[in-house]
Each structure stands twice: as structure tokens, then as C-alpha cells.
Amino acid sequence: MSVRAGLTASARGLGLALMSMVFSLVLFCLSVVSVALVIVGIGVFTTPWVTAAARANANARRRLAGEWSGVRIAVPYRPEPQWQGGIVGRVQRCQWVLKDPATWRDLLWMIVDPIAGFVLAMFAVALVLYGAWGFVLAAGVWRPMRDVGYWYAFIPVDDQLTAVAAAALGAVFIALGLRYNPEILHVHGRLAHVFLAPDHERELQLRIEHLKETRADAVDVSAAELRRIERDLHDGAQARLVAMGMSLGTIEHLVRTDPDQATRLLAETRKSSAEALDELRQLVRGIHPPVLAERGLGDAVRALALRGTIKTEVGVEAIGRMAAPVEAAAYFSVSEMLTNVAKHAEAERVWIDMRHEEGMLRITVTDDGRGGADPSRGTGLAGIERRLGAFDGILAVNSPLGGPTTATIELPCDVLSQDVHSS
């Protein structure tokens, strides 16, 4: 784990700690008071507004959990219906907010966040700051504190030697912080996931909605792919085959009258046939690469890495053979990622890790580029998400400015057979 990643995690921990005490604690107090005032009627007007602020805070924490901790948390709120006007509409909206289970899960999170969430976030900061304090003591700050019996952890600091020992212990704290702060931040993200993720019923509803959307996207993608194939055939191989037919017709007339010209046309026709065959092979390779069909996903990705312009290391842990559509979706997703890295990341190295465990194919692509990748900007990563969505797969991207960028594909699938080429 790099020093930069550890320091970044410390800064993010400080930000999460501040948000825990400032936003979560204040919004919890406001929410409790507003709900209590529903009895006297005032809360009917204030509760929807306070809840909207609480949900905005919770959504921000969900987004940060994904970006900073690598923990994806779906938004659980139900779609807001149309309300009537006037007092009746306000009452309906208040009832709708209070009946949504996500409202109460957010409220529970606003209790836990200022306590457990604050402690976890501050722990990531404290290791580094307390370690730095050991060096401050060694620089001479121990002298005015000598008479008060100051202790640094388990070291009584009363002279320069013990102050140097405090600095040595501080170096250990800093090293531990830089090494484990990203993991601490991940634990914080998992804690947020427990309270901010949808409950089981809502998760099933979201999955159904997601499947409907991805199936529609899959139909659109398939239609676009068919149009591309038709266009490539029409403009490429088909045009060459038509020209070859016309040339052969001309040759039939020239065989007896001008054999030399017929021979030249035959040579040109043979060259056109080779070019048409090459175009057809390229077209078939774009539909389903032969190496993918013959040797499996592991070797197909290795072949991609060898053809790339950036030094790429591929690690494959006996993933075996899966259904052809799943392998194709994973292959073209990795291909698109490598293309994006080459175009935009300014990276020098790429690492690809592939494994199948617990019914899930996981592929992680990491580069040492400049970072800043965002699926919401551009079409490359969004296209990968649509491709994976057809198989109920997901793409998670963690790409802070300055890098590194880590993109993880998860595809639920079964291994149909073990493939020695991918071990």
C-alpha cells in the first residue's frame, strides 16, 4: 500500500469524522424533534423537509463509501408519487416519508455514525497524527512538559533519550497508519452499508427494476451490433465479392480474345478474394474472437495484454470455462478498459487479476495512471456497465485524482468446465 494512499485515507477519515459530528448528529436531532412535532401538526410540514436533508446527507455518504472505501451502496428510496395540492398533499407526503423503511434506517444511521462511525474515521487520522506528535516531542517540546510527568503511549518522556524513543514509537504508529488506514476506511464503508443499504424487500425491487432496464439496454445493444455487422458486410466484404463477380464475368469474355488481360484480372481477383477473406476474419473476430472460443477467457485476455501498448501483467486463478455470452461480455469489457487506459490514463503499467469464487467472476484492472475516471462522463465505462448489466453484472471504479485507478468487474456465473489453459 503506497504512502500516498495511506495519507489520502487519513485525510478522508478526517472528512468523514467531521461529517459524522456536524451533519449526522445535527440532522438526527432535527429529525427526532420534527417527528415528535407531528402529533401537534407542525411536524407534518417540517418532517418532509428535514427528511429530504437527511436523505441528501445519506446519499452523499453512499457516494463517498463507493469512491473512498470501494463499498457500493444502492439508493433505497422509493419513487416519490404525485401529491395533491394544499394541506392534503402535505399530509400525504409526510405519511409517505414516515412509511418508507429507508427513513428509519437513515435515522438509525444518524445515531450510529456520530459514535461508531466517528471513532472509526478518527482512528485512521489518529494513528498518523499521534505518530507525528512523537517527532514533535523529540524536537524539544518535551522540555516544558518534563515536570508534569508526560507519557507518550507507554513511554514516560522526561529527557531527550525518552523523547527520541517516543519518536521511534511514533514512526511505528505512522507506518501502521499508512499501511492500514485504507482498510480502516473500508471497514467504515461496510458499517455504512449495514445501515444505508436497501433492506431485502427493497433490494429485490431494485434488482427487478435493474433487470428490466438492462434487458432493454441489451436489446438496444444487440440491435446496434447487428446494424454494425450489416454495415461492415455491406461496405466491406460484400462490396469486394460483388466486384469479384463482375471481374469474373469480364474474364469469361477475355479468356479467348485477350488472355494476357484475363490473366491480370485473375491476379487482381485473387488479391481481392484474399482481402475479402481477411475482412470477414476481422469481422468474426469482433463478434467472438477465435482465441476466446478455443482457449478460454484467461488466454484471450493474455492475448489482449500482449497486443497492447502498455506493459500489462495478467494473473488468472483457474477460472475455467463459462457460458460463451458471459466470456464474451467479460472479454470485451476488459478490452474496452485497456483501450481507455491507453487513451486517457497516461499509465505505464496495468495489472489484471481474474478469479472465480462463490459463483462470481471477478476481474480487477488496475493502472498507475493519472486517475479521474468517471463512468458518468464519456461512453466507454458507461458502455461496459450496459454490457455487464445484461448479465446482472456490475462495474465498480475507484479512481481518485492522481491515481491509481482500479476497475472491478463482477459477473454472476457458473463454471461449466475446468480449463487447463486458464490455470
Q: What are the cell numbers at 309?
A: 501498448
Residue 133 CA to residue 383 CA, distance in Å, equals 49
What is the chain's alpha carbon radius of gyration, rounded to the nearest angstrom?
A: 31
Long-range contacts of 379-387 (CB under 8 A, 24+ apart): 380/336, 380/339, 380/340, 381/340, 381/407, 383/336, 384/333, 384/336, 384/337, 384/409, 386/214, 386/217, 386/218, 386/221, 387/221, 387/329, 387/332, 387/333
Domain boundaries, the chain: 3-196, 206-287, 292-422
pLDDT band at 234 (very low <50, low <70, confident <90, very high): low
Please determine whether the domains at 206-287 and 292-422 fall in the same fold group of CATH: no
Domain 206-287 in CATH 1.20.5: yes
Per-residue confidence (pLDDT) for residue 413, from 0 to 100 = 85
What does the alpha-carbon distance between residue 382 and residue 407 come to, in Å, rounded to a whole number? 13
For residue range 164-198, list pLDDT tens digits in order: 999 999 999 999 998 899 899 999 999 999 999 98
Per-state percent for the chain, helix, strand, coil, to nearest 5: 70, 10, 20
End-to-end CA distance of the chain: 27
- Partners of residue 269 on adjacent β-strands: none
What pTM, to 2 d.p., does this model score?
0.59
Check residue 422 and give its pLDDT: 45
How would residue 219 be classed by pLDDT, with cut points 50, 70 and 90? Answer: low
Closest CA to 130 of 166, 83, 92, 81: 166
pLDDT given for residue 217 in this prediction: 61
Beta bridge partners of 417: 321
pLDDT per residue over 304-346, tens digit each?
Answer: 888 888 899 999 887 888 888 888 888 888 888 888 888 888 8
Cβ count near 302 (within 10 Å): 19
Contact 250, 268 (CB under 8 A): no
Task: Convert the pLDDT of each residue in 84-125 to its tens digit.
Answer: 778 888 888 999 999 999 999 999 999 999 999 999 999 989
CATH superfamily, region 292-422 = Histidine kinase-like ATPase, C-terminal domain (3.30.565.10)
Rounded-to-integer distance, Cα 373 and Cα 406, Å: 9
Alpha helices in 158-258 (DSSP H): 160-196, 200-232, 238-257
Sequence-ordered alpha helix ranges (H) in 289-362? 290-295, 297-307, 324-340
Neighbours of 367 (CB within 10 A): 28
| Amino acid 32: pLDDT | 93
Residue 369 above 60 pLDDT? yes
What is the overall mean pLDDT for the chain? 83
Rounded to whole angstroms, how far apart are CA atoms 421 and 320? Answer: 8
Q: Which three cell numbers stand for residue 90?
A: 402535505
181 C-beta neighbours (distance < 10 Å), count: 25
7-11, 243-247, 328-332, range with the lowest pLDDT? 243-247
Reported confidence tier of residue 420, pLDDT bands at 50, 70, 90: very low
Q: What percent of the chain has pLDDT over 90?
A: 29
In 3D, which of 416, 284, 402 has the Cα closest to residue 361?
A: 416
- When pLDDT is cut at 50, 70 and 90, the band that residue 62 belongs to is very high
Nearest alpha carbon to residue 318 among 350, 362, 354, 351: 354
Neighbours of 193 (CB within 10 A): 17
* Cell numbers placing 226: 447487428
226: confidence class by pLDDT, cuts 50, 70, 90: low
Query: Which grid cell sits at 200?
Result: 431485502
Residue 328 has a pLDDT of: 84
